[in-house]
Amino acid sequence: MRHFPSPDDVDLDAFYGLPPVAVGGVHVRSNFVSSLDGAAEVDGRSGGLGGSADRRVFRLLRWLADVVLVGAGTAVAEDYGPVVVPPERRDRRLAAGQAPIPPVAVVSGSLRLDPSARLFSADVRPLVLTARAAPADRYRDLAAVADMVVCGDETVDLATALHVLAGRGLGRVLCEGGPSLHASLAGADLLDELCLTLAPLLAGPDHARIVGGHRWPKPVTMTLGHVLEDGGSLFLRYLRR
């Protein structure tokens, strides 16, 4: 039986370090946990699939990012709050030229978001990436608690959204889902890497996968970067070929 190092036994910053991003450039990394049979959730939440090592990697990837990108459905279902960064990591981020805490950017064309949700009470003001066709009343309500960014006419154009984020100095993007947003990024050749925790369980049929939506014209090929293991869970890093 082959043994892989545990996340507890390696320098995770080195294993998950991001390449330099040029001014105005962008690097998009996604992070997901999945069961052996491809389920991205149990009872509608991803938390039932990951253990303590998965949470450690999850936190680190957030600390390395300039911005956390998430779809509105996932933000609501997972009750998203602000990113929590301990003081020592804030110092490291400042030394690297990053803001102390990365903002959360929510993708929403319909703006079905509650302005009183805990995400919008964060010290770091979140962003909402939306379209011109979004309802004006919802836009107005959310503008009081978030930075509103129009990235398309009828729907949110993700290439435009990434360009806008990069223009704000938020070039290292961490996508946390959901499946439709992840599929849209990967299918449009906008995804640079995937960090996947493979949980040692079978969830059964009728679960969401890490991608969802319409069929792609062709598969997206990726190259394995590393494998870590803890308690039967595999921590995989794949890079776009």
pLDDT digits (tens, 9 = 90+) for 67-110: 999 999 999 988 999 999 999 999 999 999 999 999 999 999 99
d(CA 143, CA 121): 13
Global confidence as pTM? 0.94
What percent of the chain has a predicted confidence (pLDDT) above 70? 99
Domain residue extents for the chain = 25-198
149: helix, strand or coil: strand
Q: Is the pLDDT of residue 44 over 60?
A: yes
Q: Are 36 and 200 in contact (CB under 8 A)?
A: yes
In 121-174, alpha helices (H)? 136-143, 158-167
CATH of 25-198, one of 3.90.1150.10, 3.40.430.10, 3.40.30.10, 3.40.50.1820: 3.40.430.10
Average pLDDT of 212-231? Answer: 92
- Torsion on CA atoms 193, 197, 198, 201, rounded to nearest 10: -150
